[in-house]
Amino acid sequence: MSPSPVTVSCRNVWKVFGPHPQRAIEQCRAGASKARVLEETGHVVAVRDISFDVAAGEIFVVMGLSGSGKSTLIRCISRLIDPSAGQVLIDGVDVAGMNATELREVRRHKLAMVFQHFGLFPHRRVIDNVAYGLEVQGVTQAERHRRAREVLELVSLPGWENHYPQELSGGMQQRVGLARALAVDPEILLFDEPFSALDPLIRREMQDELLSLQKRLCKSLIFITHDFLEALKLGDQIAIMRDGEIVQAGRPEEIVAHPLNEYVAAFTRDAPRAKILNAASVMTPLAGAIPADENIKSAFDFAIPAEMKLEKIIPILARHDRALLVVDAAGQPVGTIDQRAVLLAVGDADQRQF
């Protein structure tokens, strides 16, 4: 299978608020912190030298505390604001180099945004909220209403076409927000904390729905949250931001297994480790190149796949009471895993020291 095409790339993107952003960037490149630049020059370094790729079908989660630069980053991608430096490539084309017409085309057809506070038009019926993007594109009323009904069905909201947003609950309003974004069939969906105004049960329901929609739609999703558990549930990749920078990026299990610093470790503390970590993240790797040798395999009771989560491995280890062989997708032995390693990995931080 060929790899999915990259649809969004950020290349060394910076955003500095203030009259002389370039000077502030130079100061940062020379090693100055966000706090020092602010104190000395009054400039706010909101996004600092950020690079990443998002492929079609992938959910890229950006998480970090309030003020870490998440919304600024997503606004640079949609060009609601201009980056101070760097490139934002959409399907390989730098949005900074686009003229107003090209940019409008990208905004109308290629990307759509879902906001925390829904951003619905209160005086428009649900159907006309959902059809808004199509209306801007000049699609006829009959066609845009047909399409709007289709996406309302997709987000489990049929029958509400003629209501006004204030007649709907928060969760339902956010479904309308999602339907409005999906109506234009964009390749890229940008979410800025879309579920944080919802109560926990509805929020979980929306997360599940987004995951199942994404399986079918295969868009490139960039999803902002400050909830690490939400990030773990949704993200194929997670980037953790602090003071405008990405301090760690990787797959959820890599971040939980190997937080690079205390800031990241603090987020991972409440993670359901047995559900997140897989064999690959806690195994003892086999040294050197190992042939797919039946002798090695027979030395162990049986082999488990590197992707298997610890919650499934724990009962197997309990039954076998000895180390298991870990194999990659091709069946090649890549490591071994035993009960002690698993218990250390799922234990809390204090236990892990022993």
Ligand X SMILES: Nc1ncnc2c1ncn2[C@@H]1O[C@H](COP(=O)(O)OP(=O)(O)OP(=O)(O)O)[C@@H](O)[C@H]1O
Taking CB under 6 A as the binding criterion, the range among 67-75, 136-144, 251-259, 344-352 that sits at the site for ligand X is: 67-75
Q: How far is the CB of 68 from ligand X (least distance, A)?
A: 4
44 contributes a contact to ligand X by CB under 6 A: yes
Q: Name the binder of 64 from ligand X, Mg ion, none, CB < 5-8 A by kind.
A: ligand X
Residues with Cβ within 8 Å of 298's Cβ and at least 6 positions away in sequence, in order, are: none
CB of 15 to ligand X, least distance (A): 8
Q: Which range, of 23-31, 60-68, 127-135, 209-217, touches ligand X by CB under 6 A?
A: 60-68
Q: Would you say 277 and 336 are in contact if contact means Cβ atoms under 8 Å apart?
A: no
If contact means CB under 5 to 8 A according to the sort of partner, which of ligand X, Mg ion, none does residue 186 touch? none
The torsion defined by the Cα of 250, 213, 183 and 152, in degrees rounded to 10, comes to -140
225 binds Mg ion (CB under 5 A): no
Residue 308 main-chain phi, psi, to 5 deg: -65, 135
Contact criterion met (CB below 8 Å) for 309 and 251:
no
Residue of minimal Cβ distance to Mg ion? 71
Name which of 162, 202, 205, 154 is nearest 180 in CA terms.
Answer: 154
Stretch 92-151 residues interacting with ligand X (CB under 6 A): none
Q: Which residues 311-350 are close enough to bind ligand X by CB under 6 A?
A: none
Among 340, 347, 310, residue whose Cα is nearest residue 322: 340
Under the binding rule (CB under 6 A), the answer on residue 64 touching ligand X is yes
Nearer to ligand X, 69 or 335 (CB): 69
Chosen from Mg ion, ligand X, none, partner binding at 305 (C-beta under 5 to 8 Å by type): none
Residue 281 parent element (H or E): helix 279-282
Taking CB under 6 A as the rule, does residue 242 contact ligand X? no
Alpha-carbon distance of 56 to 60, in angstroms, equals: 10
Considering the rule CB under 5 A, would residue 72 count as an interface residue with Mg ion? no
The one segment of 69-77, 118-126, 211-219, 318-326 that binds ligand X by CB under 6 A: 69-77
Cα-based torsion angle of the residue sequence 308, 310, 312, 315 in order, rounded to the nearest 10 degrees: 140
**67 interacts with ligand X by CB under 6 A:** yes
Q: Residue 281 binds which entry of Mg ion, ligand X, none, with Cβ cut-offs from 5 to 8 Å by kind?
A: none
Pick 77 or 151: Cβ nearer Mg ion: 77
Least Cα distance to 7 among 130, 93, 103, 112 occurs for 93
CB of 66 or CB of 295, closer to ligand X: 66
The answer to whether 268 contacts Mg ion (rule: CB under 5 A) is no
Of 7, 9, 68, 71, the residue at the interface with Mg ion (CB under 5 A) is 71
Closest to ligand X by CB, 79 vs 297, is 79
Q: Which is nearer to Mg ion, 117 or 275 (CB)?
A: 117
Count of residues touching Mg ion (by CB under 5 A): 1
Binding-site member from 163, 226, 275, 312 for ligand X (CB under 6 A): 226
Length of the chain counted residue by residue: 354
* Distance of alpha carbon 197 from the chain centroid: 18
C-alpha closest to that of 45 among 26, 21, 65, 74: 21
Rounded-to-integer distance, Cα 26 and Cα 30, Å? 6
**Backbone torsion region of residue 71, taken as left when φ is above 0, otherwise alpha when ψ lies between -120 and 50, otherwise beta:** alpha
If contact means CB under 5 to 8 A according to the sort of partner, which of Mg ion, ligand X, none does residue 67 touch?
ligand X
DSSP 220: E
CA proximity to 235, closest of 261, 205, 210: 210
Q: Which amino acid is at 50?
A: I
Least CB distance from residue 52 to Mg ion, whole Å? 18
Taking the complex as a whole, the smallest distance from the CB of residue 332 to ligand X amounts, in Å, to 42
- The strands making up 333-337's β-sheet, listed across from edge to edge, are 284-285, 333-337, 324-327, 303-305
* 80 membership: H or E segment, kind and range: none
Which residues are near Mg ion by CB under 5 A? 71
Which residues are near ligand X by CB under 6 A? 17, 44, 46, 64, 66-72, 226
